[in-house]
Amino acid sequence: MSVIVRLPAQLRTLVGGAAEISVEALTVREAITAVEILHPGIASRVLDDQGGLRRFVNVFVADEDVRYLDGLDTVLSAGQTVSLIPAVAGG
Amino acid sequence: MSFATGLICRECHTSYEVAARYTCDECFGPLEVAYDLAAAKGKVTHASIAAGPNSMWRYRDLLPEVGDAPIDLGAGWTPLRRANRLGEILGVKELWLKDDTRNPTGSFKDRVVSVALSAARELGFTTAACASTGNLATSVAAHAASIGWPSVTIIPSDLEKSKIAMTAIFGGTVLGVEGNYDDVNRLCVELVSEHPDWAFANVNLRPFYAEGSKTLAFEIAEQLGWTLPDQVVVPMASGSQFTKVSKGFNELIALGLVDGETPVMFGSQATGCSPIATAHATGEEVFIPQRPNTIARSLAIGNPADGIYVLEKLREQGGDCGSVSDPEILECIELLARTEGIFAETAGGVTIASLRQMIQRGTIDPNKSIVAVISGHGLKTLDAIVDSATVSATIRPTLESAQDALAVQVVSAAQ
């Protein structure tokens, strides 16, 4: 199943400048892993040593923070966009 | 001259040159402005500060580099007032109010915007932007207008009418988002990736922006005759004011400009948006984001960027954080107005109600000195009080009618 991973400017240098990458995945975790296989280096920036989300990264699926859903296990539907967003902003 | 040396990651301590970046490339941690305080020691003195202007820019040595002249509408150097009448009611021996309603656009945001946009101009930007709960948008639009920059301010569409009007009047683009502040914030983080040429005060310029809040601490200490208060109470949305006021006190101590201990910091939140207060009360190190529902719209950030650092500081110092209801907020706006003659926006009600709550539960010591920061003017949130704060009576233009009405008023006041 094809989904889109949307990257912030901070990660685009790792993928040759692209803002979005299309991958095959059923969950958020699979989507991040799929991007990592194509462009090594992404996962370590987004995930901590235990494989959880780094505390300064937010992930949104269909405009919803996955921390309100099932976190990295949040199930995706075909064509959905997974947005990786730096957490430390605003206020 | 500024003693700023660059940017440093608060998490992994990676250093960066001064640039419009706000997260660490290594870990996404927040970047802060770093200073050479050792070089500043002995050069930044009580006298050198006193020789500066009567604005926050008297502390420019301890702020980011802003070139020849900052973009300055006159932010800061607001009154620090002894509040004996309110203090007596709350049972506080020595209460001071930092009256930041008295800034050019009516809130403390003028401090942070003056720094952010001045630094942005020095970095070559020509367009101002921000994500805002209202006060920041007003200040960004005003400062941008003053130098002829276009501005793009992005706010929740259902904000108080007065805040929308106060922003739109400056002529920039104001985008009302169908959603809450956290939706606005996320949108702006995405927008900054597409518009890296826009200076988002609280996104790509956030390290510089945040520094402006330190001037609250600098002024409080200087206005107390270069001494430190024992306890400081601030309102909290993202928690940035809390962490930077604390940083400001620490810098003064490091520079030898004041003696003593860092004041114990206390936060204030509305229960309808209290992720930090809730986490602190339950002893959690990490807060759970909350969907805001409170009249204190300026504090309605459900996913506060500095939340974990506030929680860290509260634990370290034995501080506390109030969590107060909307009726308590309204009651304390009135209490502050009627005891001290200061008309505060809802955030001021949150601060005073939280102060009262923390005194009652014994976490704030009423026998030690307390400074409470009143961050914004009441005219900004008229919506919250127009139904209750209204004429005492409507009368005909005759002496009899006036005397009848006054008799009723005097009788009810005596009861």
Percent of chain A scored above 70 by pLDDT? 100
Task: Report the C-alpha gap between B277 and B281 in whole angstroms.
Answer: 6
The CATH number for A35's domain is 3.10.20.30
**Predicted model pTM:** 0.95
Average pLDDT over residues A26-40: 96
CB distance A86–B23 less than 8 Å? yes
Distance in Å, alpha carbon of B21 to nearest chain A alpha carbon? 9
- Residue B267 corresponds to which tokens in the numbers above? 């936060």
Whether A78 has its CB under 8 Å from any CB of chain B: the answer is no
Residue B23: which of A56, A63, A68 has the nearest Cβ? A56
Domains contained in chain A, number: 1
pLDDT tens string B319-356: 999 999 999 999 999 999 999 999 999 999 999 999 99
Task: Please name which of B206, B64, B294 lies closest in space to residue A56, comparing C-alpha atoms.
Answer: B206
Contacts of B111 in chain A (CB under 8 A): none
Q: Which of A45, A63, A88 sits opposite B30 (nearest CB)?
A: A88
Average pLDDT of the residues of chain A? 93
Count Cβ–Cβ pairs < 8 Å, chain A vs chain B.
87
Q: What is the structure's pLDDT at B414? A: 64
pLDDT computed for residue B400 by the predictor: 97
Q: Find the helix or strand (DSSP H, E) in which B49 lies.
A: helix B46-50
Q: Give me the residues paired with residue B156 across strands.
A: B177
Number of residues written out for chain A: 91
Within a 10 A sphere around the Cβ of B40, how many other Cβ atoms? 20
CA distance, residue B184 to nearest chain A CA (Å): 9
* Cβ contact B131–A58 (<8 Å): no
Cβ-defined contact of B30 to A58 (cutoff 8 Å): no
3-state SS, residue B197: coil
When pLDDT is cut at 50, 70 and 90, the band that residue A91 belongs to is confident
Q: Collect all residues of chain A within an 8 Å Cβ-Cβ radius of residue B308.
A: 55
The string of pLDDT tens digits covering residues B85-140 is 999 999 999 999 999 999 999 999 999 999 999 999 999 999 999 999 999 999 99
A32: containing domain: 2-86
Q: Tell me how far apart the alpha carbons of residues B140 and B200 are, in angstroms, rounded to a whole number.
A: 9
Mean pLDDT of A36-53: 92
The whole-angstrom separation of Cα B326 and Cα B163 is: 19
Q: Say if the Cβ atoms of B286 and A55 lie within 8 Å.
A: yes
The answer to whether position A35 is within a domain reads yes
The contacts of residue A9 (CB under 8 Å, 6+ apart) are B192, B193, B196
**Interchain proximity B196–A9, CB inside 8 Å:** yes
Residue A7 located in a structural domain: yes
Q: pLDDT by residue (tens digit) across B14-46?
A: 999 999 999 998 889 999 999 999 999 999 999
pLDDT band at B415 (very low <50, low <70, confident <90, very high): low
- Residue A90 has a pLDDT of 87
% pLDDT > 90, chain B: 95
Closest C-alpha among B327, B264, B343 to residue B97: B343
Candidates B302, B293, B272, B286; CA nearest to B183 is B302
The C-alpha of A51 sits at a distance from chain B's nearest C-alpha, in angstroms, of 14
- Secondary structure letter of residue A68 according to DSSP: G
Residue B413 has pLDDT above 80, yes or no: no
Give the tokens for residue A84.
């990786």
Q: What is the pLDDT of residue B307?
A: 95
For the structural domain made of B80-105+212-384, what CATH number should be given? 3.40.50.1100
The domain ranges of chain B are 80-105+212-384, 389-415
Q: Which residue has the tokens 């003696």?
A: B259
Cβ atoms within 10 A of the Cβ of B323, count?
A: 22
pLDDT of res. B118: 98
Q: What is the pLDDT of residue A55?
A: 85
The three-class DSSP label of residue B106 is coil
List % helix, strand, coil for chain B (3-state, nearest 5).
45, 15, 40
Chain B partners within 8 Å of A87 (Cβ) = 28, 303, 305
Q: Is residue A77 part of a domain?
A: yes
Asked whether the predicted pLDDT for residue B399 surpasses 80, the reply is yes
Tokens 């190190």 appear where? Answer: B285
For chain A, the farthest-separated pair of C-alpha atoms sits apart, in whole angstroms, at 37
Residue range B225-274, pLDDT digits in tens: 999 999 999 999 999 999 999 999 999 999 999 999 999 999 999 999 99
Residue A63: the pLDDT is: 82
> Which of B186, B191, B205, B241 to substitute to test the interface with A, most A CBs within 10 Å?
B186
Q: Which residues contact A91 (CB under 8 A, 6 or more apart)?
A: B202, B237, B238, B239, B240, B301, B304, B305, B306
Identify the closest residue of chain A to B193 by CA–CA distance.
A9
Contact flag A90-B131 (C-beta cutoff 8 Å) = yes
Question: Cα separation of B110 and B117, whole Å?
Answer: 10
Residue whose entry in the numeric block shows the structure tokens 């932007």: B129
The answer as to whether A91 is a domain residue is no
The model's pLDDT over A52-89, given as tens digits with 9 standing for 90+, comes to: 999 899 999 988 889 889 999 999 999 999 999 998 88
- Give the count of beta carbons closer than 10 Å to the beta carbon of residue B51: 9
